[in-house]
């Protein structure tokens, strides 16, 4: 039983890490963070990076742990959440793919109107939400949290513990990306940064379409099972 719990925890860790990292994507949001804190001191950026990483962790943790109960309270089914979250993610990715200097992404527009003083006072909005983690990542976190539940309490606790550990690792990566993002972007240059952002946006678009398809597939299966039961 102990080995089974360890294997389940390891699978859950990898599942959450691989699923949430491309959506949260610290490397892609680091340039926006840097532009919004352009005149901030290194100490201020360090403080903001630490606070944003903590905010992201608790927001994603809350979505995973109690998100399903919120859905039950409002009578929202999981396939609908997947379709809605997938559409949001695909929409964000599409805007990122089509973003040009003449038509910037909405997050970049926020950056232009956001001064360093306001950034220090408002680490949660918009630096954490929606820049670092938005509606798409929250809906995916709810979906992931539901999939980790198990009838066996020990198994469920092992999976959730591993999921929180994966979120903690992503939080560390988010902190490092924001803290040292300027050095990393300087290494790959402006052209490399643009290519990296486009590739990331394409991956997010594909992921959003996949999430929508999963939701539609589940709805079709439920519809077919309902019709078969009525016959």
DSSP 96-165: HHH--SSS--HHHHHHHT--HHHHHH-IIIIIIIIIIS-HHHHHHHHHHHHHH--SSHHHHHHHHHHHHH
If one counts the domains in the chain, the total is 1
Query: What does the pLDDT read at residue 165?
Result: 97
What domain range includes position 66?
2-230
- The alpha carbon of 51 is separated from its chain's Cα centroid by a whole number of angstroms, namely 17
Q: Which two tokens stand for residue 79?
A: 């396939």
Task: Determine the average pLDDT of the residues in 20-47.
Answer: 80
pLDDT above 50 (res 93) = yes
What's the pLDDT at 7?
Answer: 93
Tell me which of 55 and 129 has the higher pLDDT: 55
Q: Does the pLDDT value for residue 99 go beyond 80? A: no
pLDDT tens digit sequence for 37-91: 766 778 888 889 999 999 999 999 999 999 878 888 888 887 887 787 778 777 8
User: For 186, what's the count of Cα atoms within 13 Å in the CB-facing half-sphere?
Assistant: 5
Mean pLDDT of the chain: 80
Segment 221-228 mean pLDDT: 86
Under a CB-based contact definition with an 8 Å cutoff, are residues 67 and 141 in contact?
yes
């Amino acid at each position: 039983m102990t080995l089974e719990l360890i294997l389940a925890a390891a699978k859950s860790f990898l599942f959450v890490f691989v699923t949430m990292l491309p959506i949260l994507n610290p490397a892609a949001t680091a340039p926006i963070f840097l532009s919004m804190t352009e005149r901030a001191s290194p100490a201020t950026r360090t403080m903001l990076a630490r606070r944003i990483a903590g905010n992201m962790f608790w927001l994603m943790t809350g979505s995973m742990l109690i998100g399903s109960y919120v859905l039950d309270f409002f009578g929202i089914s999981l396939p609908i959440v997947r379709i809605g979250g997938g559409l949001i993610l695909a929409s964000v990715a599409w805007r990122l793919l089509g973003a040009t200097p003449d038509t910037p992404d909405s997050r970049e527009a926020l950056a232009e109107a956001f001064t360093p003083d306001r950034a220090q006072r408002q680490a949660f909005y918009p630096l954490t939400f929606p820049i670092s983690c938005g509606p798409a990542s929250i809906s995916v976190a709810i979906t992931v949290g539901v999939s980790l539940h198990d009838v066996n309490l020990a198994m469920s606790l092992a999976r959730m513990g591993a999921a929180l550990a994966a979120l903690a690792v992503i939080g560390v990566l988010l902190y490092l990306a924001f803290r040292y993002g300027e050095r990393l972007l300087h290494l790959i240059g402006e052209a490399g940064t643009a290519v990296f952002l486009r590739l990331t946006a394409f991956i997010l678009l594909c992921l959003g379409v996949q999430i929508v398809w999963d939701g539609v597939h589940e709805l079709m299966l439920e519809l077919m099972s309902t019709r078969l039961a009525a016959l």
